[in-house]
Structure 1
Amino acid sequence: LGAAQDVPPSQVLQESMPLTIKLRELNAEAGAENLFQDSPQALADTAKNRAKVTYWKTKLQVRPVYDFQIHTASSLASGPFRRLKGHPELGVYTPHLYLSDFWLLEKEYTPLNETLAESPLNLTLSYETISLWKWSLQTQMADQWMQQSEWGLTDTQRDSFMLKRLILDTNPWILAFSGAFIAMHTLFSMLAFKNDIQFWAKNESMQGLSARSMVISWFCQVITGLYLLDSQETSK
């Protein structure tokens, strides 16, 4: 303690974050659905209408941002870099201390209610540096989720927890393979669409084309579209 008291105040980083948050009632067993229960979409629709409950965060990450980038006055005024405290008269800025609850899942929130009146609240702190690009990415994603939630565009609470569970609980190799597969599928679909446009733009007759196959293809696409429209995963 004596050595800590000798540290000049200018060399001490101070950041604060509330340890409680109001969320719609969470399911601590999310991600382990029972096949004999209601569908995940039905459960999500029910949860979306629940009232907000105050939760205690049981974990918190203390992460100094590892940053050797040279910033300018304009860069400090854009994006997540607005959180950096600049000192123009000295030509420096204060290193950022990132208090993160970004990776918390449903099971790591404790609801505050009467049952906890005489129970201790546990808080686990972890310390690790974070690179600039990771901090920037997490901060921008959190800001986007908050903005979308305010606009009511999507159920950001459910989607954010689902994305975090996907990243944390999935094998990195499987996740990388899935991402590569989706990227290749998207690329080939775009190339096929481009070739279709070029073909019909240059085509001047129906010679060599089967009207029956075109009608069957159109009918199959209509059936697929109607199925997706009626599907709970896409229409709700």
Structure 2
Amino acid sequence: MRYAPSFRTIAVAVFTAYVAYVAAQLRTILNPAAAIADVDLSRTPTWDPLWPPGHRFSARVWLTGVRPTRRVEPSSDKGDLLLWSSQRDQLIFDTEASFALDLNLTSKNVPNQLWSRLAQDESLYAVFCLGATGSPTHCVDTSLVKHLDLTAPRPTRYLVAEWPLLGSLVPNERPEETATPATRKNTRIGYWTPRACASLVADWTRWPKDLTTPYIVRANLPIDGNRQGHYLPVVYADQLGLTKEKLIQINTTNHALPLRLEIGPMSMARWQFNAHMEESLRLMRDLGSSTKDIDDLRHMLTETDPTLLAVTMLVSMVHLLLDVLALRSDISFWANTKSTAGLAVRPLAIDLISQVIIAAYLAEQDASLLVLGPSVAGILVQAWKVQRAFRLRRNEDADTHTSALDSSATRTLALALVPLVLGYTLHSLVREKHASFYAWAVGSLASCVYALGFVMMTPQIFINYKLKSVAKLPWEYFIYKFANTFIDDLFAFIIRMPTMHRAAVFRDDLVFFIYMYQRWIYPVDSSRREDGLGDETESNATQSSKLKLQ
């Protein structure tokens, strides 16, 4: 018989190939010198480093309103301001020496023609000019103003403050300070970057002049015009870590702006990684990604420990594989199942409503697409499961043992939860501020789902307990999801998301531990009836009669 590989085998093979490809690409990015490891440099023309380790150099930092041409140093005659100048050969080019200087820019120490550019929503540039005896001056610039398309927060208020009955219960309202712009429309706002960095790539590799040298290296090597066989150090203006919370909004009230100048070494691996990430973020922006999504990625890339980030990259790929396998297993289970005996159906519909509420809340909170996208995809799958499960239930005897247990558990759950939900939503309406009634409804319901969502799984737990069986559950799907909950725990510390959504990630762990415990104490018995309801000789009618007598 010809062997036909299963979907799981194909998925694991594709995943393994993808991980190997990513690892090879990452190795090339972090260690481009590996690409020339087999090149005989004695027989190949090369570019050699002009500055050896420990070479001394000087630096000048200018403030200018016009982005300069490469290697053209600004001048005070053109209205540019010299922010700082080192002593002759004061700085050292090696893997450790660094320099930092904190400045405070005001209208008194910055020429009016430069300071006024900030009020006119124009940019300023910091230009680092590095030079040494016997080599030309090398200049690199970085913009000190970032323009972001942002949406101002909506003002919030007590919605029932003027109501006759509930208004008396509202706390005393305080004046609310709203950020500019005061409208909800997207507005382009200028932000000051309080850090200007010139990082010298501490690398002294001899690079071949042919195509064996990686393109990103060849494109960025500053070749000495006087000595064609040599290159100056690569100077990188590092702005990858400038997330929005580190920026300062520019407006007419800014009388002083801080600026930290930094000159120091950067490893070849770090430079390559940052350059590739900046290019990826630029591509995402061109494809329409929001400023917030890009900012969340900047935060994750720069505020996470490199080891943890590497683990996260690997784990995210495993997470994707498990999600694909879980989705396929879940769809296959519900597509092939012929009976809902032993399965709680009504909580599926409740879970669908909960997922819609969560997606609406995430959209209301302007959550990242990294969080909102999977939530929307889950709604589509859950909707299909609900219609499939209820269609099967309609075709079965409505008085089965499982259906009665499902109804009993769901009814008890509703009696316990509905008063809590109504009480909390009313308390939130009266005692908390909201932007609108829609924001109140979505926020309050989402809070209830996050806090009490795990109890939606208790009807299935109750059915398992009564039947003393877990034979009908889709255990392959549960195992995949069980593994993914722990991966979500890791993501909860790395990806920025609403606090309630982060807490819900850890809540799911409890549910799966209960399921695994029930699987341990109620062994899966394949010899049980198709409906999984205990003694094979006992009819559905007899079981239903017993249930009614109870």
TM-score range, shorter chain: 0.5 to 0.7
Report if aligned partners of 1:65, 1:132 keep a CA contact under 8 Å in 2.
yes
Secondary structure, aligned partner of 2:273: helix
State yes or no: 1:83 paired with 2:220. yes
AA matched with 1:164 = R
Q: In 1, Cα distance between the equivalents of 2:307 and 2:299?
A: 16
1:19 equivalent to 2:171? Answer no
Q: Which residue number in structure 2 is paired with residue 129 of structure 1?
A: 265
1:65 to 201, 207, 232: 201
Q: 1:148 to 1:90 in 2, by over 3 A?
A: same
Q: State the 1:170 CA deviation.
A: 5.4
Displacement of 1:135 in angstroms is: 0.9
Q: 1:185 to 1:121 in 2, by over 3 A?
A: closer
Secondary structure, aligned partner of 2:256: coil
Pairwise CA distance, 1:187: 4.8
- What is the identity percentage for the equivalent residue pairs of Structure 1 and Structure 2? 17
When residues 50 and 78 of structure 1 are mapped into structure 2, their CA distance, relative to the original with a 3 A threshold, is same
Separation in 1, partners of 2:234, 2:270: 13
Q: TM-score of the superposition, structure 1-length normalised? A: 0.61
Task: Output aligned runs, 1:182-197, within 5 Å.
Answer: 182-187=316-321
Tell me, yes or no, if the aligned pair for 1:66 and 1:130 is still in contact at 8 Å.
yes
Specify whether residues 194 and 71 from structure 1 end up closer, same or farther in structure 2 by C-alpha distance, changes over 3 A only.
farther
In 2 relative to 1, CA 103–81 (structure 1 residues): closer, same or farther, beyond 3 Å?
farther
Contact 1:64 1:95 in 2 (8 A): yes
Secondary structure, aligned partner of 2:141: coil
User: 1:79 touches 1:140 (CA, 8 Å); kept in 2?
Assistant: no
Confirm or deny: 8 A CA contact 2:149 2:187 kept in the other structure.
Answer: yes
What residue in structure 2 maps to residue 97 of structure 1?
235
Could you tell me how far 1:169 is from its partner in structure 2? 5.0
| 1:124 to partner: Cα distance | 0.9
1:169-208, Cα deviation, whole Å (9 max, x unpaired) = 557777666555444444556678999xxxxxxxxxxxxx
RMSD (Å), alpha carbons: 4.7
**1-structure distance, mates of 2:303, 2:194:** 19
**Kept in 2: contact 1:103–1:164 (CA 8 A):** yes
Structure 1: stretches of 5+ with no match in the other structure: 28-46, 196-208
Q: In structure 1, what is the equivalent of residue 295 of structure 2?
A: 161
Aligned residue pair count: 204
Contact 2:151 2:186 in 1 (8 A): no
Mapping for residues 1-236 of structure 1, pairs under 5 Å: 1=87, 7-8=132-133, 10=135, 12-25=137-150, 50-72=186-208, 73-74=210-211, 78-79=215-216, 81-87=218-224, 90-116=228-254, 119-152=255-288, 154-155=289-290, 157-167=291-301, 181-187=315-321, 211-212=338-339, 227=355, 231=359, 232=363, 233-234=372-373, 235=376
* Aligned 8 A contact 1:76 1:84 in 2: no
Q: Distance in 2 between matches of 1:24 and 1:175?
A: 28
Which of 1 and 2 has higher RCO (CA within 8 Å, sep 6+)?
1
TM-score with structure 2 setting the length: 0.30
Q: 5+ residue gaps in structure 2? A: 1-86, 91-130, 153-182, 330-335, 364-371, 378-550
Q: Which has the larger radius of gyration?
A: 2
